[in-house]
Chain A
Amino acid sequence: MENEAKRNFLELFLLLDRRIIYTLVALAVAIPLIWPIGLPIRITPEVQSVFDKIENLPEGSNIMMSADFDPASQPELYPMMKAVMRHIARKKHKLAITVLWPNGPNLVAQCIEEVKEEYPNWRSGDDFVFLGYQVGGTIVIIGVGNSFVETFPKDYYGNATSTMPVIKNFNRLGQADYMIMFEAGNSGDWWIVYGTEVHDVEVGGGVTAVVAPQYYPYLQAKQLNGIIGGLKGAAEYEMLMEHPDMAVAAMDSQSMVHALLFVAIVLANIFAFALAIQKRNAARREK
């Protein structure tokens, strides 16, 4: 009888209604947003490498940025792009930005406006050029390796790129001192193969957590100098910038959901194992 009650509990737990799971996940996200815990954030070497590179470049260095994502990846990549853009504006580096995904340009434009509010002297044409989006993917990377002006005759705002002061010494990928790319898919592979390896430019990757693991082979092969992986990576970069923002605010919720899922999956496996043993014992007793 007791075994039957225990077995029912095990089965009940394993067959928990999905709506209860959804509710628990929603609560695990919402509660820390209202009552933050303030768990400390440890900086990983991969993120530190990207930060150190941008920090140690001489003022006025040329940096290429590619923001290859869309609103689906915005919560992860927008905070890290904003933190890096702030860093570049603070260090007064020259920046060229391109976008390979069609739904991304307006996100980058919004980010530029937000950074300009903090650095009002950061000007399009003089300090940075937002080249915008061009159809073609890999072909655009090859084109950018040849010439910004020929691939993007006009920038995102409709201004001719040929006469911009920032373009005078920074008109192709090979003239970049560093590149940072924000990737939600495989376009980072294309940048490495057709861009940075061809023109010998050091590159760091800000990537969504889904694709982060597949960039580690490039990190070990030194084809990437660092990886800012997912929202946690964005939070680390914000801490390094000493400017906690959206990503740091989300970390407690991230932790709570991960802890919830960790406990749930471990318990589910333990209970499934226990249930299997009980069923096997019950079958033996019946024999």
Chain B
Amino acid sequence: MLNLAILLQAESHLLPWQQSMADFFTGDTMVSIGTWIAAGLTLVMFSFIYKDNALFRLGEHLYLGISAGYLMSLYFFNNMKPVFIYQLLPWLDPKFGTPEGSTLNLWVLIPGVLGFFILLRLVPGLGWLSRTTFAFYIGGFTGISLSKVFSGLLLPQFYATIDVIPYMVTSGPDFVKLLNALVLFVGALSVLVYFFFSVEHRGFVGGVARIGVYTLMVAFGATFGYTIMARVSLLIGRMQFLMFDWINAEIIQRLAVIFRGG
């Protein structure tokens, strides 16, 4: 039988048994066991490079289950408890009655009910109730974002594009500055023209759209180069773990200790 108090107190401060547990799980033995398990799972996931196999599928589904369980626990502690449960039932908060404790806030019942409607999507015949929640949330959020996207994204980016026009006029003998300003202005504008499909891309418009295509190709090429960098970095990270944290620390060094007689 789960003790609700322990469940709700679990993370508010470290009790002595929790401290012992922390020392155990961060101790050398568990770190060593963890390293071997991690190395095994890493090799299992890498086996997909050769071909799809049962071990990989097992690892994949294990990852899915662990991830879902972790997220559910996290949502409970980080979201459900502090912003919903403690607002409705503040006496469950271990710090209730102190300045740090929660206070009763019945208004939270309204978003709670709206949130519950989302869960009703799993119940046949009651899924339509979730439309109210989505309408409330999405409607409100789009109202906020309408002005924010305009003032925080569209206008600053637009100003930054036309801001280079003075450089094209006043750059003088600084050809690099002039070239940069031209590339920036013409490139951005031509990409916008390329994406404007309401006018046929012929003649002058077609020519500008062509420049837009080449600008986009250069941008995608740069993105490709950086993507290679990113993926290789991830591989380097795993190789560092396998070579140093597993093979070197767990195998070579332990064998060295054994052969040297401790």
Contact = CB atoms under 8 A, between A and B. Distances in A.
A174 to B, nearest CB: 14
Contacts of B82: 152-154
Contacts of A58: none
A130 to B, nearest CB: 12
Contacts of B71: 102-103
Contact of B74 (A72, A75, A105, A253): A105
Contacts of B190: none
Interface in A134-161: 134-135, 138-139, 142, 152-154, 157-160
Sorting the interface of chain A by its residue count into under 10, 10 to 19, 20 to 34 or 35 or more gives 35 or more
Contacts of A189: 153
A34 B243 contact: yes
A250 B239 CA distance: 10
Contacts of A197: 148, 151-153, 156
Interface in B203-262: 219, 222-223, 226-230, 232-240, 243-244
A30 interface: yes
Contacts of B156: 197, 221, 223
A232 interface: yes
A222 interface: yes
Interface in A75-119: 75-76, 102-103, 105
B29 interface: no
Q: Classify the interface of chain A: helix, strand, loop or mixed.
A: helix
B99 A221 contact: no
Contacts of B141: 138-139
B19 interface: no
Interface string B143-167: 0110011011100110110000000
Nearest to A162: B100
Contact of B239 (A30, A132, A157, A163): A30
Interface of B: 11-13, 49-50, 67, 70-71, 74-75, 78-79, 82-83, 86, 95, 99-102, 141, 144-145, 148-149, 151-153, 156-157, 159-160, 184, 219, 222-223, 226-230, 232-240, 243-244
Interface of A: 19, 22, 25-26, 29-30, 33-34, 72-76, 102-103, 105, 132-135, 138-139, 142, 152-154, 157-160, 162-163, 189, 192-194, 197-198, 208-210, 212-214, 217, 220-223, 229-232, 246, 249-250, 253-254, 257-258, 261
Given A29-B239, A197-B152, 16 more contacts: A33-B239, A34-B243, A133-B78, A134-B79, A163-B99, A194-B145, A194-B148, A198-B148, A198-B152, A210-B223, A210-B227, A220-B160, A222-B160, A250-B233, A250-B236, A254-B236
